[in-house]
Chain A
Amino acid sequence: KAGVTQTPRYLIKTRGQQVTLSCSPISGHRSVSWYQQTPGQGLQFLFEYFSETQRNKGNFPGRFSGRQFSNSRSEMNVSTLELGDSALYLCASSLTGTSTDTQYFGPGTRLTVL
């Protein structure tokens, strides 16, 4: 069974632009979560989607948004990019999205903002 895939793997943008990242979960998984990883702040939770509904949201500004489609694939969007948005963005999927469930992570999208 294929793992979590994220596209693109690398991305370079300039300040003020917007960006869309894509995540395809493991087949059959219904929960998708997004995390931001930076050297300074570490791993921080962005949001979680389950059956096309946002279930939890981390402490990030409204420039960060996401959505989930009926096939469980998810996208996250960052508008008006800032230098501080440079990070590795990780997507994780789980089968049921319950608190005992294991999350499987993708390889991430490395975003560089110039």
Chain B
Amino acid sequence: AQSVTQLDSQVPVFEEAPVELRCNYSSSVSVYLFWYVQYPNQGLQLLLKYLSGSTLVKGINGFEAEFNKSQTSFHLRKPSVHISDTAEYFCAVRQQNNAGNMLTFGGGTRLMVKP
């Protein structure tokens, strides 16, 4: 079984400031890692995913994340946020070599960008 912990339920930040959204996971098997964003009244949109290779993954909208196997973390970062980045962000894991693509999500982090 897997579990995902997003350490901050809310992160307020000023526009153009850097931001880091933290994600830690626990799993007895190898997993793939994902970050999704959800804007109000919308579904989830994939920001980026880590499958293998370089531990630094670049995604859409200027976001990037770093996979740290020893710390079982996959933190999301952006060097300069915009008002339009205000949304809820979800970290998720999926078991490798599994017949299926079920995602296990963290509780979400609400990013609030202030002018």
Binding site for B on A (CB under 8 A): 4, 31, 33, 35, 42-45, 48, 50, 55-56, 58, 90, 92, 94, 97-108
Contact A4 B43 (CB under 8 A): yes
Binding site for A on B (CB under 8 A): 32, 36, 41-46, 49, 51, 90, 92, 94-108
Contact B100 A99 (CB under 8 A): yes
Contacts A42-B107, A42-B108, A99-B95 given; indicate if A48 touches B42 (C-beta within 8 A): no
The docked-state distance in angstroms from the alpha carbon of A57 to that of B90 is: 21
Contact A99 B43 (CB under 8 A): no
Residues of B within 8 A of A42 (CB): 105-108
Contact B103 A90 (CB under 8 A): no
Shortest CB distance B93–A (Å): 11
Q: Add 10 more A-B contacts to A48-B100, A99-B97 (CB < 8 A).
A: A42-B105, A42-B106, A42-B108, A44-B105, A45-B102, A45-B104, A92-B44, A99-B98, A103-B103, A107-B41
